[in-house]
Amino acid sequence: MAIRNIVILGEDDVLRKRARRVDKFDKRLRTLLDDMAQTMYKADGVGLAAPQVGILKRAVVVDVGDGLIELVNPEILKQEGGAVGVEGCLSVPGRRGTVERPERVLVRAQNRDGKAIELEAEGLLAVALCHEIDHLDGIVYVDKMIEDVTDQEEEED
């Protein structure tokens, strides 16, 4: 397990490339997933996609507080509803913005052993899954941002 370096938007075009499907469910993939989880937790994030650590593979990790989810080759099969929420991204430090996302999604993916899995998610988990899966296609949340809400800081009194 190791902490990986998180790529910052604008510094490396790897965040703008389409990641490749994972075909080999080997030790390298397991190391990547382990490292991504460790890197996400260390950075206090709720999700991390492989391109964010410079690896163009379709793999993401998410933990919105209910435990770690690892998804390989994830695809959104169904989505429902829509709601605007505030997002940030470990690759876009210091910024926050609102984005419209589905309220519920059904995701099909594989686990680290290559076994097919399906996941139904709503609320923040649905948002996090959409955000991470976007990274696999070179999309960063700022591309979909409705409003930049970076400036909002609490008052000192």
Partner 1 sequence: MAKRVILTEGDDALRRRSRTVERFDARLAMLLDDLADTMYAANGAGLAAPQVGILKRAVVVDAGTGLIELVNPEIVSHEGSVIGVESCLSVPGRCCTVERPEKVVVRAQNRLGEAIEVAGENFLARALCHEIDHLDGTLYIDRMIEDVSDRYRQVGRDEA
Q: Which of 132, 147, 154, 155 is labelled catalytic?
A: 132
118 phi and psi, to 5 degrees?
Answer: -130, 145
Q: Using CA atoms, how far apart are residues 63 and 34, in angstroms rounded to an integer?
A: 13
Site map 15..54 versus partner 1, x via CB under 8 A: ----------------------------------------
| Residue 132 falls in the annotated catalytic set | yes
Give the shortest CB-128-to-partner 1 separation in angstroms.
Answer: 11
- Amino acid letter at 141? Y
Say whether residue 105 binds partner 1 (CB under 8 A): no
Which listed residue (27, 82, 113, 116) binds partner 1 by CB under 8 A?
Answer: 82
Q: Which residues of 110-135 are buried (b: 16+ CB within 10 A; e: fewer)?
A: bebeeeeeebebeeebbbbbbbbbbb
DSSP symbol at 85: E
Nearest residue to 104 (alpha-carbon basis) of 87, 118, 125: 125
Which listed residue (78, 84, 93, 137) binds partner 1 by CB under 8 A?
Answer: 84
In the block, tokens 């919105």 appear at 64
Give the shortest CB-52-to-partner 1 separation in angstroms.
Answer: 22
Which listed residue (83, 93, 120, 137) binds partner 1 by CB under 8 A?
Answer: 83
Q: Using CA atoms, how far apart are residues 31 and 97, in angstroms rounded to an integer?
A: 32
Say whether residue 144 binds partner 1 (CB under 8 A): no
Query: Which residues would be at the binding site for partner 1 (CB under 8 A)?
Result: 65, 81-86, 96, 98, 100-101, 103, 123-124, 127, 147, 149, 152-155, 157
